[in-house]
Amino acid sequence: WPAGQVPEAAVKEFSAIVIGAGAAGLVASVHLQRLGIPFTVIERNHDVGGTWLENTYPGCRVDSSNHMYSYSFEPNHFWPQHFSTQPVLLDYFRGVAQRYGIREKVRFRTVVEEMAWDEGRALWKVRLKTPSGIEHVEAKAVVTAVGQLNRPRFPDIKGRETFKGPAFHSAEWRHDVDLTGKRVAVIGTGASAYQFVPEIAPKVGQLTVFQRTPPWGFPVPHYHEDVPEGMNWLLEHVPFYDKWYRFWMFWMVTDGLLPMVTADPGWNGPPTAVSEVNQGFREMIAMAIAAQAPERPDLVAKVIPNYPIGGKRSLLDNGVWLAALQRENVELVTDGIAEITETGIVTADGTAREFDVIIYGTGFHASKFLWPMKIKGRGGADLHETWAGDPRAYLGMTTPGFPNLFMIYGPNTNIVVNGSIIFFSECSVRYILGCLKLLAQTGAAALEPRREVHDAFNIKVDEGNKLMAWGAPQVTSWYKNEAGRVTQNWPFALVDYWRATLAPNPDDFVLQKAPEMAG
């Protein structure tokens, strides 16, 4: 903030709580620190890193290129691989926390259980569960940076609890369970399983992968490759090369893909596509998949999705997935699971298979935003009751009736084919800081979006999502809530979010006077 634009006292007297010290919480922290705004970070884990701390399954790595899946203010010209592995990512986030002095601001192993807006004093009263008991703290603003994908979801399958052997979720990998020579079942074939199945397949005795819906994989031959030395040299030494490379990727492999997954309302073709371009894209990718298993038409028939490409998150295919499924010790089962027993899994056709270990790659409670925190806004209204399974926010960040509550990676800010969620976090933080600046400049105590602005925005988002492959009625996914509304995804380009979040428009908000000014 340019000197003189914001009263210094207003900045110093402000207080913020950031919930989460993952990738997004660190962006918020770095910039609050830079502006001199007092803040505390509450983190349930023992360390920073969020998803990159929690997910340690074999083969875990980023599937957006690191040269864009990194902070704009902390470029790394020496990523060892284009798509680095989890330990490399975790080191990066730990390094950022260290360099910017964020660790000292974090209260680790502490959970926000409940927060309530105190109308009279215009602040959030927050109940914490700390290692030494319950504690209450207060802050003028709360920034949630809790991610969407960190509450493991186990499937609702009959008998799940009865299985006698080790059974665990991919996000809670049991490194103490030796899989060597074991009969292992994997349930789920999403982004996580796609990465760990090829890693464990050579080690286990027998691997059975239970697939309900196959994923689409884009051919990316360099997915596991090192960044060539020459590229590192260019990034480091040629002026603006790194900026250009990052921009090129944002455009070529993210926003540039949107037209291929956009629905044509006049499309008369099969429901396996949403437009002619989407159909062509589908044929191209299906050919690339089929070419990997020329001797196995039975397998190819199972792994080519029957939903439009872009309907679910597309994965990066360098051949290891199909290679794993073609191993002699690997079986891909597409019959539905009827029951889990003490010793194994029974499919709908009555086949019973025995296992030593079951691994769940079944995803997360993504659409339960901010769950299980209890959040009481103006008039004691409960956020989850207000949303009633249909979370909505203005630009994914603010919601009426919940003043000075700012969400990063909130409703409708997830991206399917286009881009890096870190970019979104940076846009959100810039906007949130713009809101704090607005408070400081006007002397207001709190702000919340106008109902009509919030509603109009959500109508626009819904209309946008209906035109995307992931919004197509024939597609089911965690992007949609029970009513079929896409609650997760941003339907537009990254550049549109960037533009929409450059600075808050004061007219979009209701400003609450400071308590001493009130009345």
Report the C-alpha gap between 244 and 254 in whole angstroms. Answer: 15
Site string for ligand NAP, 472-491 (x = CB under 6 A): ------x-------------
Residue 392 CB, nearest distance to ligand NAP (Å)? 21
Give the C-alpha separation, 358 to 461, whole Å. 39
* Residues in binding contact with ligand NAP, number by CB under 6 A: 25
Nearer to ligand NAP, 75 or 155 (CB): 155
Smallest distance from ligand NAP to CB 192, Å: 4
Q: Determine, following the binding rule CB under 6 A, whether residue 313 of this chain makes contact with ligand NAP.
A: yes
Q: Measure the CA–CA gap between 339 and 185, rounded to whole angstroms.
A: 13
CB atoms within 10 A of CB 175: 9
Distance between CA 276 and CA 255 in Å, rounded?
A: 19
Q: Which of 27, 90, 97, 149 binds ligand NAP (CB under 6 A)?
A: 149
Span of 55-63, 244-252, 435-443, 466-474 interacting with ligand NAP by CB under 6 A = 55-63
Q: Does residue 469 interact with ligand NAP by CB under 6 A? A: no
Should residue 187 be labelled a site residue for ligand NAP when binding is judged by CB under 6 A?
Answer: yes
Listed ranges 34-42, 160-168, 187-195, 460-468: which one lies at the site for ligand NAP (CB under 6 A): 187-195
Is residue 38 a contact residue for ligand NAP (CB under 6 A)?
no
The conformation of residue 514, written as its DSSP 8-state character, comes to: P
Provide the pairing of β-strand 141-144 with 405-407. Answer: parallel
Q: CA-CA distance, 401 to 390, in Å (whole number)?
A: 16
Among 84, 150, 189, 488, binds ligand NAP (CB under 6 A): 189
- CB neighbourhood size of 483 (10 A): 9
DSSP-derived secondary structure letter, 517: T
190 near ligand NAP (CB under 6 A) = yes
**What backbone phi and psi angles, to 5 degrees, belong to 357?**
-140, 140
Q: Which is nearer to ligand NAP, 54 or 508 (CB)?
A: 54
Does residue 362 bind ligand NAP (CB under 6 A)? yes
- CA angle at residue 183 from 478 to 61, to 5 degrees? 45
| Least distance between ligand NAP and beta carbon 57 (Å) | 9
> How many Cα atoms within 13 Å fall on the side-chain side of residue 381?
13
Does 212 participate in binding ligand NAP (rule CB under 6 A)?
yes
**Quick one: 32 or 185, whose CB is closer to ligand NAP?**
185
Interface segment toward ligand NAP; rule CB under 6 A; list 175-183, 207-215, 225-233, 433-441: 207-215
- Check residue 269 and give left, alpha or beta (phi > 0: left; psi -120 to 50: alpha): beta
Shortest Å, Cβ 231 to ligand NAP: 21
Of these, 147, 198, 361, 400, which contacts ligand NAP (CB under 6 A)? Answer: 361
Question: Whole-angstrom Cα distance, residue 512 to residue 118?
Answer: 13
In this structure, the number of other CB atoms found within 10 A of the CB of residue 199 comes to 15
Candidate residues 6, 18, 19, 62; the one interacting with ligand NAP per rule CB under 6 A: 62
* Site for ligand NAP contains 340 (CB under 6 A): no
Beta strands per DSSP E along 251-348: 315-317, 330-333, 337-340, 344-347
Cβ 161 to ligand NAP shortest distance, Å: 14
Give Dmax over CA atoms of the chain in angstroms: 78
Helices (H) and strands (E) in the chain, counts: 14, 21
For ligand NAP, give the closer residue by CB, 45 or 192. 192
Provide CB contacts within 8 A for 264, sequence distance 6+.
Answer: 274, 275, 276, 277, 278
At its nearest, how many Å lie between ligand NAP and the CB of residue 19?
Answer: 20
Indicate the SS3 state at residue 188: coil
Q: Does 367 bind ligand NAP (CB under 6 A)?
A: no
Which residues lie near ligand NAP (CB under 6 A)?
61-63, 149, 155, 157, 170, 187-193, 195, 210, 212-213, 313, 337, 361-364, 478
